[in-house]
Amino acid sequence: MGRRKRATLADLSAELGISIQTISKALRGRPGMSEETRGRIMRTAYLRGYMSSAQARELVRQGIAPYPSYRLRFVLVQSHQSLTYNRLLTAGLQERLGQYEHRLDCYVLEENLSEVEFEEWAQTRNLTHADGLLIAPRLTSGSMEEQLLKYRVPKVLINYPRPLTQVDSVIWDVYEAVCMAVDRLARAGHRRLLYIGDIAAQRGYMHRWQAYQEMMAALGEPALRATADDFEAAFLRHRPTALLVGIDEDCDQITTALDRLGIRVPEDCSLVALRNAPPEEALPISRPQLMIREAGYEAADRILWRIAHPNAPHQHTRIRGGFHDGRTIAAPQRT
């Protein structure tokens, strides 16, 4: 079989619809184009044989190519608890990485493994030789997250980082989501709000509760809270005019409890919930929009950038969405 003819700058220009001058500047790391355009040029130059794998890696090492132009293998580590939003998160990661024909392997990490069990788990999944590691939220065992962060590969934590953690992070901003929810209820006239949800098991849960407390303090009102399990007793005790459900998985249990109590939404009590994805509902729930898919897309960009800039300071990105009004907020009844 004959050897494939090496592409020329003219070939690349014709394929990409970009001038030879721009392509030449991109390959030499010169400014004058978007990073998206530079990435397309670098990837196509590699795939068409204009540069070797060694040349491409050397450009990345020098920080010239903001996105690697050869196929990489990334690993997403998640827990069983994160599977409720895994479809959205994975879709964002795959969409962005797929644009560069990179590979994404997704693994579920069991909690509370011993150090030996964790090493066996990691070895069977070849974590050491991954080009990058993406760590999803809800690893309830802090030791598992710490073990993953020790790996000497580029990493992005898709979560709020612990203080002093040296890692890039990307997360959909639940803190701002709660602030928006309280603000929307307050502007509708509500002051007696009840927050429902765990506030300790996850860092994201803690941020939700902190945001709620700060917003209620600004309103001069108490920060009332219940769990999904003790909700009915708390509702009868506090008689709130509005509820804020902070955790997606609690929402169905709360709406069922309201039906059991004979409480109509929104006529008797308004409701806002942090839902991971909009489900099929007879009564669309008012909710902050959680940018889960977008966070996956951004995390893919961040890990590609980290590969090209290994010594740059770590960055933390929070992605804020808007607010979906739904039909579960109404002015409180006069009492």
Residue by residue, what is the 3-state secondary structure of the chain? CCCCCCCCHHHHHHHHCCCHHHHHHHHCCCCCCCHHHHHHHHHHHHHCCCCCHHHHHHHHHCCCCCCCCCCCEEEEEECHHHHHCHHHHHHHHHHHHHCCCCEEEEEECCCCCCHHHHHHHHHHCCHHHCCEEEECCCCCCHHHHHHHHCCCCCEEECCCCCCCCCCEEEEECHHHHHHHHHHHHHHCCCCCEEEECCCCCCHHHHHHHHHHHHHHHHHCCCCEEECCCCHHHHHHHHCCCEEEECCHHHHHHHHHHHHHHCCCCCCCCEEEECCCCCCCCCCCCEEECCCHHHHHHHHHHHHHHHHHCCCCCCCEEEECCCEECCCCCCCCCCC
Residue 66, pLDDT above cutoff 50: no
pTM for this model (two decimals): 0.79
Res 309: pLDDT: 84
Res 87: pLDDT: 86
CATH superfamily for 174-289 is Response regulator (3.40.50.2300)
Res 52: pLDDT: 64
Q: How confident is the model at residue 3 (pLDDT cuts 50, 70, 90)?
A: very low
Give the Cα-Cα-Cα angle 35, 36, 37 (nearest 5 degrees). 90
Per the model's pLDDT, the better-predicted residue between 267 and 45 turns out to be 267
- Which of 7-11, 60-64, 133-137, 272-276 shows the lowest per-residue confidence on average (mean pLDDT)? 60-64
How is the chain split into domains, by residue range? 9-61, 73-172+292-319, 174-289
Question: What is the mean predicted confidence (pLDDT) over 313-320?
Answer: 96
Work out the mean pLDDT of the chain and round it to a whole number: 88
Res 277: pLDDT: 77
Res 92: pLDDT: 95
Res 159: pLDDT: 94
- Which of 58-62, 82-86, 145-149, 266-270 shows the lowest per-residue confidence on average (mean pLDDT)? 58-62
Is the distance from CB of 301 to CB of 308 less than 8 angstroms?
Answer: no
- Which of 19-23, 109-113, 114-118, 240-244 shows the lowest per-residue confidence on average (mean pLDDT)? 109-113
Q: Omega of the bond prior to 266 within 30 degrees of 0, cis? A: yes
73-172+292-319 and 174-289 agree in CATH topology? yes
CATH superfamily for 73-172+292-319 is Response regulator (3.40.50.2300)
d(CA 280, CA 21) in angstroms, rounded, equals 52
> What phi and psi values does residue 279 have, to the nearest 5 degrees?
-85, 170
